[in-house]
């Protein structure tokens, strides 16, 4: 049993989830150390925000920094069907006549660094170039971390609370074998950035576009970024996009696959005419999973370290920020009560998972071939507002569950995944 703690809280990982929890705990006067393994800001995927992030940015004191940034403003998301026809854009201000209805498209290297700088300003000790090899556990109780520093040295650091915000690395999830891949969302993605290409005008210039390919076997995102760049990625089932596309030698030509999918998406192909691809295709797969627990004694999971759904509605950053905020609240309460049990630190879990489940149902609807939002809304026009609320991320502030009984008439919705 340690009688001296080096820190009140150690946060592992300096992505949006880690920066959020660290900032909000440090701001209340606690000693917080954040360890980020990368020495420099790096490229990351996940570039489109949704409006509900506004409220976490407000608490973090980030709104002015974002307003004065060069990140394109996002007012809407627009869907293109397999026939190449675009839906009317879903403007977030349709259900929310407030400045929070406008959000941003971000370059992650810059955005993550802005959040880390803000954390430092609020009192967090940020160390870059320090990876955590292992969370030290005494049974199920976290006591500290074993670090691997850039110069190869290792260090043991103790803290009362350890936050795992290592993203898909999911340090504690792997150590305790907590993670389950979503059985029906075995997906893969290929992505890159382009320079140039067509953009719509006015408030549509910063819109996210979600475009199905001809047979609806895959879909593309198009996300406008600063420096006249656009992030373009394709998502499809792992077997379809990668496993079944190997050549006779078993090799994968991801550029060829990307080009083949683009050929099946006429509206996007047209928009990218004359644009220049900026770097080779990158690949990721098996990204939809969830941990069976969100906390234990003296430890908490935040953001992707707990789980990730799917890129389609750009919910990842929001859920990382929101879980960072909720985790900070239960940690601050734990210090006040001197109770660092799983029951206390995991007390935000049920509400957080309820919000996540609303997105998850909409993700399953999206991947049901026979389902389309256009058809759903023509049959149930009263649900237009509910859909916009979910696309805006308003799943914690409003009850959006009323749309699901009708949606279940048109597509199978998944049973909820409980947490322990
Ligand atoms: C294909 C794809 C497209 C996506 N598109 C979107 C999108 O458009 N919009 C959206 O909102 N979300 C999107 N996402 C999801 C989004 O990227 C993540 O949900 C988000 O980055 C999660 O934030 P986080 O802070 O939990 O983790 P991360 O942003 O992954 O941050 C984790 C940090 O921990 C550090 N780290 C890892 N291991 C260690 C260690 N052992 N020691 C120290 N540091 C460590 C990493 O270097 C990293 O900086 C997408 C995801 C995928 C797979």
DSSP string, 149-188: ETTS-EEEEEEEEEEE--GGG-HHHHHTT-EEE-TT--EE
Same domain, 263 and 279: yes
Residues β-bridged to residue 190: 234, 283
The beta strand positions in 63-199, using DSSP E, are 73-74, 76-80, 90-91, 103-104, 125-128, 130-138, 141-149, 154-164, 179-181, 187-195
Number of structural domains (the chain) is 2
State residue 4's pLDDT score.
45
Same domain, 378 and 398: yes
| Distance separating alpha carbons of residues 305 and 171, to the nearest angstrom | 7
Same domain, 320 and 379: yes
Same domain, 411 and 296: yes
Q: Is residue 3 part of a domain?
A: yes
The verdict on pTM exceeding 0.85 is: yes
State residue 2's pLDDT score.
39
Residue (of 172, 191, 46, 161) closest to 115 by Cα position = 46
CATH number for the domain harbouring residue 12: 3.50.50.60
Same domain, 303 and 340: yes
What is the whole-number distance in angstroms between the Cα of residue 183 and the centre of ligand 1? 21
Same domain, 395 and 359: yes
| Distance separating alpha carbons of residues 223 and 46, to the nearest angstrom | 10
pLDDT tens-digit map of 118-150: 999 999 999 999 999 999 999 999 999 999 988
> Which of 10, 12, 15 has most ligand 1 atoms within 8 Å of its beta carbon, as the pocket-test mutant?
15
* Ligand 1 closest atom vs CA 305: 26
Residue 189 pLDDT exceeds 90? yes
Which residue minimizes the CA distance to atom 2 of ligand 1? 311
State residue 5's pLDDT score.
60
Domain termination residue (choose one: 258, 285, 312) = 285
- What is the length of the chain? 420
* Ligand 1 closest atom vs CA 231: 8
CATH number for the domain harbouring residue 224: 3.30.9.100
What is the whole-number distance in angstroms between the Cα of residue 60 and the centre of ligand 1? 19
pLDDT tens-digit map of 40-51: 999 999 999 999
Domain termination residue (choose one: 237, 256, 285) = 285
Which residue minimizes the CA distance to atom 53 of ligand 1? 287
Same domain, 149 and 22: yes
> Which of 12, 46, 313 has most ligand 1 atoms within 8 Å of its beta carbon, as the pocket-test mutant?
46
State residue 1's pLDDT score.
35
Ligand 1 site, CB within 6 A:
12-18, 35-38, 44-48, 131-132, 165-167, 169, 171, 189, 233, 284, 287, 303-305, 308, 311, 314-318, 320
Domain limits for position 332: 1-71+106-181+289-420
Q: Is residue 242 part of a domain?
A: yes
What is the whole-number distance in angstroms between the Cα of residue 381 and the centre of ligand 1? 35
Which 8-state DSSP code applies to residue 260? H
Q: Is residue 90 part of a domain?
A: no
Q: Is residue 353 part of a domain?
A: yes
Which residue minimizes the CA distance to atom 7 of ligand 1? 46
Same domain, 298 and 410: yes
Instruction: State phi, psi for 70 to the nearest 5 degrees.
Output: -95, 15
* Ligand 1 closest atom vs CA 13: 34
What is the whole-number distance in angstroms between the Cα of residue 325 and the centre of ligand 1? 16
What is the whole-number distance in angstroms between the Cα of residue 168 and the centre of ligand 1? 6
The beta strand positions in 38-139, using DSSP E, are 73-74, 76-80, 90-91, 103-104, 125-128, 130-138
Same domain, 330 and 256: no
Predicted confidence band at 417 (pLDDT cuts at 50, 70, 90)?
Answer: confident
Same domain, 11 and 114: yes
N-term to C-term CA, the chain: 26
What is the whole-number distance in angstroms between the Cα of residue 371 and the centre of ligand 1? 29
Same domain, 279 and 407: no
State residue 3's pLDDT score.
37
* Ligand 1 closest atom vs CA 131: 42
């Amino acid at each position: 049993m340690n009688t001296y703690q080096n820190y009140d809280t150690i946060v592992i990982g300096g992505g949006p989830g880690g920066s959020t929890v660290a900032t909000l705990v440090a701001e209340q006067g606690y000693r917080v150390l954040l360890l980020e393994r990368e020495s420099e800001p790096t490229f990351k995927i996940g570039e489109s925000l949704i409006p509900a992030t506004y409220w976490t940015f407000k608490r973090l004191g980030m709104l002015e920094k974002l307003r004065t940034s060069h990140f394109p403003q996002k007012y809407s998301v627009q869907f293109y069907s397999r026939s190449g026809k675009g839906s009317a854009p879903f403007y977030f201000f349709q259900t929310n006549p407030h400045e929070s209805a406008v959000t941003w498209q971000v370059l992650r290297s810059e955005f993550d660094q802005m959040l880390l700088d803000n954390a430092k300003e609020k009192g967090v000790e940020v160390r870059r170039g320090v990876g955590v090899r292992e969370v030290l556990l005494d049974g199920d109780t976290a006591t500290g971390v074993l670090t691997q520093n850039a110069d190869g040295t290792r260090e043991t650091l103790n803290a009362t609370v350890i936050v795992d915000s290592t993203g898909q690395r999911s340090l504690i999830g792997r150590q305790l074998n907590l993670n389950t891949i979503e059985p029906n969302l075995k997906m893969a993605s290929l992505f890159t950035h382009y320079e140039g290409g067509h953009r719509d005008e006015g408030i549509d210039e910063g819109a996210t576009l979600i475009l199905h390919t001809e047979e609806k076997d895959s879909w593309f995102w198009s996300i406008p970024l600063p420096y006249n760049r656009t992030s373009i990625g394709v998502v499809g089932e792992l077997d379809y996009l990668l496993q079944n596309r190997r050549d006779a030698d078993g090799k994968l030509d991801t550029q060829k696959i990307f080009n083949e999918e683009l050929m099946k998406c006429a509206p996007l192909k047209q928009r990218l005419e004359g644009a220049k691809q900026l770097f080779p295709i990158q690949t990721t797969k098996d990204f939809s999973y969830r941990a069976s627990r969100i906390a234990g004694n003296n430890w908490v999971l935040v953001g992707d370290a707990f789980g990730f759904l799917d890129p389609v509605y750009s919910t990842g950053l929001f859920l990382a920020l929101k879980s960072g905020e909720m985790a900070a609240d239960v940690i601050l309460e734990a210090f006040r009560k001197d109770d660092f049990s799983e029951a206390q630190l995991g007390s935000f879990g049920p509400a957080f998972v309820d919000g996540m489940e609303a997105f998850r149902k909409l993700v399953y609807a999206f991947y049901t071939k026979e389902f389309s939002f256009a058809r759903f809304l023509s049959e149930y026009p009263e649900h237009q507002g509910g859909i916009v609320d979910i696309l805006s991320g308003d799943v914690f502030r409003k009850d959006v569950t009323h749309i699901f009984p009708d949606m279940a008439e048109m597509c199978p919705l998944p049973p909820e995944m409980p947490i322990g």
